[in-house]
Structure 1
Amino acid sequence: MNLPKYTFECKPEARPQNHHPDSPTELEPYIADSGLIEAVNLAIFLQRPLLIEGEAGCGKTRLAVAIAYELGLPFYRWDIRSTTKVQEGLYEYDAILRLHDVQTQNLTPSINPQTGEPRKPQDPKDYRELGSLGKAFQSHECPAVLLIDEIDKADVDFPNDLLSILEKPWKFFIRETGEEIKANPDKLPIIIITSNKEKGSLPTPFLRRCLYHYVRFPNQPEELQKIVNAHYAQKQKIEKITIPKADLVQEAIVKFLNIRQDKSLFKLPGTSEFLDWLAALDHFTLTPYPVERLKEENTIPYRDLIFKLRQDWTNSKYASS
């Protein structure tokens, strides 16, 4: 079997010009180490889902966007809730709307948003809409990138139910329309699954089917500096915003990493909070926040951007400034 060669290098500048219409149009720069890049390419090579774990704010969700953007592939996202069933990711069928259109077709027929044409009650396909997983299966010209976000939020049966779809023969049946939706075996979806382990470990059969990678939070100053450089390089292209002065960035990194080392915090801030905080330090007021004041122990300016729980925000250890 001649499989297409797709290689993720974490180099968004390699994005092909003839990218798919459903490929992401904008990308916040993403930094991935060699281990994570290798895990992605192993998942592509073996055609297996890649299960990503790591603490909140370490960039798990954005990885799938980065892959789809760089490779120019269609991107579909499936956000999992506590009530989510596998059926929702495949398709939804609106029988009530079809009944309504039967009764009112001579008055004001409803419009199918996919075609822009009036729906035809005699055609059941006009009343089914593919979910994110169904769209990924229907991408036959190129593999789609499918993000299944926070799988551990679903009930305990969900991962194993999903297995029956993510294995050969990679197809499902829509009984209301008589359609069989089958993925192209040479262009199977690139599936990224994220987990925060909110409900404990995932089932063993599901884990056996997936590749696994733990994303470590960038807890070294030089790692956060790379993220800052990449973030502001993109900002300069789009918004003409310059990178904050080096001394402010360095002190903000030191302060941020010290905060993250505080074992009394209930929720540690992530990279998104850090970048928002650095932006506020640099240009929320007419002049950047004074570096010397930032060096003061236990003084955290703009705490609203760092702490997201009341227990942390009211922590007497940190003074408002």
Structure 2
Amino acid sequence: MSTWPVYTGTAEPHDGVSRLPGPPPWRAFDGGPVLTLSQQEVDSASPDATHRGSTYRATPESIDLVNAALVLRRPLLITGLPGSGKSSLPYAVARELKLGPVLRWNITSRSTLQDGLYQYDPLARLYAASKGAEAKRATETGEVHHPGDAIGDHLRLGPLGTALLPYDRPRVLLIDEIDKSDLDLPNDLLNVLEEGQYEIPELVRATSHTPEAKLMIAGGEDRVTVHRGRVRCRAFPFIVLTSNGEREFPPAFLRRCVPLQLRRPERDHLEAIVRAHLGELDEETTRVITTFLERSSTGELATDQLLNAIYLSRVPGLEAESRDALAAVLMTHLGPASEFNDF
């Protein structure tokens, strides 16, 4: 049976990820013990995530490059204008391949590698330990265990840390707007993404008396057991990094990613997107699309601006004059020159 493409872009869920060929020898990982998402976890996506996944319309280029990233076990770096659908693609892949909820890490200028891997609250642990000591002194035996004084109660895995757990199928991780990060973050990510593993120093230091710790994962209250403070993946996650193209990345980072540039959609692609979100086109919808294309030829516009304008155009009782005025505001050009382009 053919293994290409595993991701088809049809928005129809299937088990095709089981046909994924083995990894290249230099991208094989053997973490364990193996974790499996339950069917309930696979189906637990929010209504918003389900809608995003089911309505995304992939181009032939994006389908090919998603499959390249899956086969090579490499991150997919998507560059495109705001509103071009960069962050929706991982939801489409997760839904079609039934890979469970998308783990999401929203990047800011203050984000660090540790934020993505895990969060640790030493002050809360110190407080819990002091309360435990007080309770111990108050007993005759001195053997009271105070709930909450275990180190695992004060650690929680982040989205990247959760994605790298030894799942039998790849988890989907969205690292959104990586170009907003501090200059060092892309370089800091290199070793973790290359090795598919990481350590939690607070647990490594405690291995002599606590060789195992149960930690909460990102996006839920479930706990997983981490052995000796080390995590190594088994199925390398499908990692999507998005960028608005506002900065350049180090060559060492770029060569470890599969690059995808999302371009301005043509009319037939726009119409397919509108149908997926809002149903069949009518005369008014076609007119708004034409206006959108005309305006986008003189400045940058995002697809979600078009969807908002079309949705409003279908509200009963809204007069044509008001509808056109609102559409003009909603489809204002993006960028610092917009005030000169639109008014």
**TM-score (ref. length: structure 2):** 0.73
Q: Find the counterpart in structure 1 of residue 22 from structure 2.
A: none
Alignment of 1:181 with 2:231, yes or no, is yes
Q: Distance in 2 between matches of 1:5 and 1:161?
A: 33
Q: Find the counterpart in structure 1 of residue 273 from structure 2.
A: 227
Alignment of 1:144 with 2:171, yes or no, is yes
Residues 24, 68 of structure 1: 8 Å contact kept: no
Paired residues for 1:165-180 under 5 Å = 165-168=192-195, 170-178=196-204, 179-180=229-230
Q: Find the counterpart in structure 2 of residue 279 from structure 1.
A: 311
1:102–1:14 distance in 2 versus 1, CA, 3 Å:
same
Residues 252, 278 of structure 1: 8 Å contact kept: yes
**SS of the residue aligned with 1:201?**
coil
**SS of the residue aligned with 1:301?**
helix
Q: Find the counterpart in structure 2 of residue 86 from structure 1.
A: 113
Q: Of the candidates 142, 145, 151, which is equivalent to residue 124 of structure 1?
A: 151
Backbone CA RMSD of aligned residues = 3.0
**SS of the residue aligned with 1:84?**
coil
Displacement of 1:7: 1.4
- The percentage of counterpart residues that share the same residue type is 32
Displacement of 1:139: 4.5
Segment drifting more, 304-313 vs 118-127: 304-313
Q: Of the candidates 42, 49, 66, which is equivalent to residue 75 of structure 2?
A: 49
Q: Find the counterpart in structure 1 of residue 332 from structure 2.
A: 307
Q: Find the counterpart in structure 1 of residue 238 from structure 2.
A: 190
Q: Of the candidates 169, 180, 183, which is equivalent to residue 156 of structure 1?
A: 183
**TM-score (ref. length: structure 1):** 0.78
Q: Distance in 1 between matches of 2:199 and 2:5?
A: 29
Q: Find the counterpart in structure 2 of residue 211 from structure 1.
A: 258
Q: Of the candidates 58, 62, 80, which is equivalent to residue 36 of structure 1?
A: 62
Alignment of 1:134 with 2:165, yes or no, is no
Q: Distance in 2 between matches of 1:260 and 1:82?
A: 30
1:145–1:15 distance in 2 versus 1, CA, 3 Å:
same
Q: Of the candidates 58, 72, 75, which is equivalent to residue 84 of structure 2?
A: 58
Query: Tell me, which stretches of 5 or more residues in structure 1 are unaligned?
Result: 109-117, 234-242
Q: Find the counterpart in structure 2 of residue 76 from structure 1.
A: 103
In structure 2, what residue type is equivalent to 1:49?
P
Displacement of 1:18: 3.9
1:23–1:211 distance in 2 versus 1, CA, 3 Å:
farther
**SS of the residue aligned with 1:165?**
helix
Query: Tell me, which stretches of 5 or more residues in structure 2 are unaligned?
Result: 16-37, 136-144, 205-228
In structure 1, what residue type is equivalent to 2:250?
P
Displacement of 1:24: 2.9
Query: Would you say how many aligned residue pairs link Structure 1 and Structure 2?
Result: 280
Displacement of 1:87: 1.0
In structure 1, what residue type is equivalent to 2:320?
Y
1:215-234 CA distance string (max 9 Å, x none) = 1121x22221111111124x
Q: Find the counterpart in structure 1 of residue 217 from structure 2.
A: none
